Amino acid sequence: MERIGTIQRVMHYPVKGMMGCEVNRAHVNSSGLEHDREFYFVKPEVTGSPATISVNIRNFPGMLLFQPAILHEGKNTTVTVRTPHGKLLSLSSDELTRALENGMLKKPDRHIELRRDETGMHDSSPVSIFSQQTLRALKLKTGALFLDPLRFRANLYVSWSNDLPFYEDQLVGTKIRIGDNVVLNVTKKDTRCVVTQINPRNGRNDVNVLAYLRDTSGCAGVYAKVESDGVITKGDAILIE
Over the stretch 142-174, which tens digit does the pLDDT of each residue have? 998 889 999 999 999 999 999 999 999 999 999
Contact between 7 and 158 under an 8 Å Cβ cutoff? The reply is yes
Which H or E element spans position 76? strand 76-82
Task: Report, as an integer, the average pLDDT of 70-95.
Answer: 89
C-alpha distances out from residue 202 to 3, 19, 21, 37, 238, Å = 37, 11, 17, 21, 33
Q: Coil, strand, or helix at residue 137? A: helix
Whether 178 and 238 have beta carbons less than 8 Å apart is answered as yes
- pTM recorded for the entire structure: 0.94
* 51 pLDDT tier (thresholds 50, 70, 90): confident
Q: DSSP states of 102-120 as a string? A: HH-SS--SS--EEEE-TT-
Check whether domain 2-240 has CATH 3.20.20.30, yes or no: no
Burial 30-40 (b: 16+ CB within 10 A, else e): ebbbbbbbbbb
The residue ranges of every structural domain in the chain are 2-240
